[in-house]
Amino acid sequence: MAVGEVTAPMGGKVIDIKVKPGDTVNEGDEVVIIEAMKMELPIVANESGTVKEVKCNVGDAVEADAVLLVLE
């Protein structure tokens, strides 16, 4: 995982994106929700920053390690 990238820890379906480009996020904030194994897993920002790019859409099936969004 490159600096600034928020990735999917496991494969699943994106069911909610809680940020958009330009939003400020703090470390620990929920940014994306993925559904996997019948559970909803909040993906959190592992650092503070501004959302540069959202690289997924609601409904996308993503693989493990897929980049979901980029922070700067």
Partner 1 sequence: MRPYFQNMAPIGKPLTEKQKEANKENARQIKEVEKEIEAAIEEVKNAGLPLEVLKKRGQMSVWERIDYLVDPGTWCPLHTLYNPRSNEEGTTGVVDGLAKINGKWAVVIGFDNKVLAGAWIAGQAENQLRVTDIAKRLRVPLVWLVNCSGVKLTEQQEVYPDRRGNGTTFFRHAELEKLGIPILAGIYGTNPAGGGYQAISPTLLIAHKDANMAVGGGGIVSGMSPKGSFDEEGAEQIIEATRHFKQVPPGSVPIHYNETGFFKEVYETETGVLDALKKYMDMMPAYDPAFFRVDEPKEPKYPGEDLNYIVAFNQKRSYNFDEVLARIFDNSEHMEFRPGYGPEVYTGLAKIDGFLLGFIGNRQGFLGKDYPEYAPYPGIGGKLYRQGLIKMNEFVTLCGRDRVPIVWFQDTTGIDVGDLAEKAELLGLGQSLIYSIEQTDVPMMCVVLRKGTAAAHYIMGGPTANNHNAFTLGTPTTEIYVMHGETAAVATFARRLVKEKEAGRPLQPIIDKMNKLAQEYYEKSRPLYCARRGFVDEIVSFPNLRKYIAAFAGCVYQNPKSICPHNHMMIPRIIKG
Q: Which residues bind partner 1 (CB under 8 A)?
A: 9-11, 18, 26, 28-30, 33, 35-42, 64
Cβ-based nearer residue to partner 1, 5 or 30: 30
Smallest CA-to-CA distance from 4 within 48, 43, 66, 41 is with 48
Cβ-based nearer residue to partner 1, 9 or 21: 9
**Spatial distance between the Cα atoms of 29 and 37, rounded to a whole number of angstroms:** 22
DSSP letter at 33 equals: E
Least Å distance, CB 3 to partner 1, is: 20
Least Å distance, CB 27 to partner 1, is: 10
Strand 39-44 relative to strand 67-71, pairing = unpaired
